[in-house]
Structure 1
Amino acid sequence: MRKVIGIGETVLDIIFKGGKPIEAVPGGSSFNAVISLGRAGVNASFISEAGNDRIGEYVIQFLRDNGVNADNVSIFPESKSPLSLAFLDENNNADYIFYKDHPHDQLEFATPEINPGDIVLFGSFFALNPVVRPQVAGFLEYAKE
């Protein structure tokens, strides 16, 4: 069965409106896309990393609860999960502040099985960050084969 494999960052978005926090939800560009696919019943999985904390546990469970395979989300024992503070203006446009505390800034993951016809979804921070871009490029080369 054809599947979509997303690769990208995970963050916990804490959303503020009127100077007060109103919601906290897991997010990230590719993350949000695979969540939508999982909710629609598409066979989807996600490659990422999370901290060894309650936020990391919550993010992984959120993926699973929304029909996304999270077996390739690596948990790093000496890391904290990234946070994003999103301050909404009167038009609900967000101004973001990001907090990340990883002792090393590299993407490590077990490579999932990829079959002909599978789709790889990536973008945003992981596509641009020069530290993790080599791992993403290597994964794309693997997927192409």
Structure 2
Amino acid sequence: MDIITIGEMVIDFIPGTEEGSYIRNPGGAPANVAIAAARNGLSAGIFCKVGDDDFGRFLIQTLEDNQVTPLSPELCREAVTTMAFVSLSPGGERSFTFARKPGADMFLRVSDIRDEYLAGCKVIHGGSCSLSKGEARAATIHTLKRGHEMGKMVSFDVNYRNLMWDDDRQAAADTVMGILPYVDLLKISEEEADMIGGRESIHRVMKQNQVAVVIETLGAEGAECFFAGSSFVVKGRRASAIVDTTGAGDAFWGGFLSRLLIKGADRTGIFTREILEDAMRYGNVSGSLCIQSKGAIASLPARAEIELYLEEDR
């Protein structure tokens, strides 16, 4: 496979057109990134763990319908599917209430991660919510470390959520800093960059660990990359119809990683500024096209849409 992501799949229950009705939308950052990569022509798989129930089967079917291969060993008798009940403000902003079966496992165990799958891929991508708890934390660190040892390109998305970290920002920052020796590409927001010490810390991390750090803000501001002792910004395009950017950051990163591989970047050759700039431009367009109420996965653009947008922009 070209890319394997590791993390938790989520079902968003989004308010429907009638009062009291909800629309089920599958999502979760690892699934979104894998599907965005698949829509850009890569072969994609995901290590995830879901319950042997209607929700779990729905999530697995969604992956397969989007050409992503689930790499979980089996569905679980204890339902582990996370459900997010979404409220929308009049301005279109979301708030979430999460639900999970009490006592159920959140995530994969180390024993569930199959080395033969890791050995057969080019990029391994993870996210920090899975670093917050017990078995999930151990499995995520193990996967990133094994990928690094195998010489794979390792990507990581810093995604702080108060709920997952029990409001302990320092613990989250310390954990993220601890995995950086295994990471080649780090995706982070402005707020999360501040959480680990801001730009000064990022420069130091980049120099010590040879990490390329991308601060992804989307919209017209675009994205900023810290690489090889300097930083540069690639301007974005704000899609006029954006109401709800859920999934847009994942669309950005799926497009970004896809473009890196298409351009021939890998762990052995690492990156050049030109390749990173091109991939960021591609990711900016992918993020801006991930638009409003269809739900994250339904909104993730395909390569043809992105390339058409780029062609028209020229």
Give the whole-Å Cα distance in 1 for the aligned partners of 2:57 and 2:121: 31
Unaligned runs of 5+ in 1: none
Residue of structure 2 equivalent to 1:99: 99
Q: Find the counterpart in structure 2 of residue 15 from structure 1.
A: 14
1:26-82 CA-to-partner distances (Å, cap 9, x unmatched) read: 111111111111222211100110011011111001001101011326421122522
Structure 2: which amino acid aligns with 1:49?
K
Q: Are the aligned partners of 1:13 and 1:85 in contact in 2 as well (CA < 8 Å)?
A: yes
| Structure 1 match to 2:137 | 133
Identity of aligned residues (%): 23
> C-alpha separation between the residues in 2 aligned to 1:142 and 1:117?
12
CA contact (8 A) 1:44 1:69 kept: yes
Cα distance, 1:122–1:43 mapped onto 2, change above 3 Å = same
RMSD: 2.3
Equivalent residue of 2:45, what SS? Answer: strand
Task: Confirm or deny: 8 A CA contact 1:41 1:67 kept in the other structure.
Answer: no
Q: Which residue is 2:49 aligned to?
A: 49
Given candidates 118, 132, 144, the residue that maps to 1:114 is 118
Contact 2:7/2:30, CA 8 A, preserved across alignment: yes
- In terms of fraction of residues, the more helix-rich structure is 2
> Given that residues 7 and 107 in structure 2 are in contact (C-alpha distance below 8 angstroms), is that contact kept between their aligned partners in structure 1?
no
TM-score with structure 2 setting the length: 0.42
- Cα distance change of structure 1 residues 48 and 72 upon mapping to structure 2, 3 Å threshold: same
1:70 alignment counterpart:
70
**How far, CA to CA, are the matches of 1:128 and 1:80 in structure 2?**
16
Question: Aligned with 1:133: secondary structure?
Answer: helix
Select the structure of larger CA radius of gyration.
2
Counterparts of 1:144 and 1:79 in 2: how far apart (Å)? Answer: 32
Structure number with greater CO (CA < 8 Å, separation at least 6) is: 1
Whether the 8 Å CA contact 1:15–1:24 is kept in 2: the answer is yes
More strand by share: 1
Q: Which residue number corresponds to residue 5 of structure 1?
A: 4
Q: Distance in 1 between matches of 2:73 and 2:59?
A: 10
Q: What SS does structure 2 have at the residue aligned with 1:132? A: helix
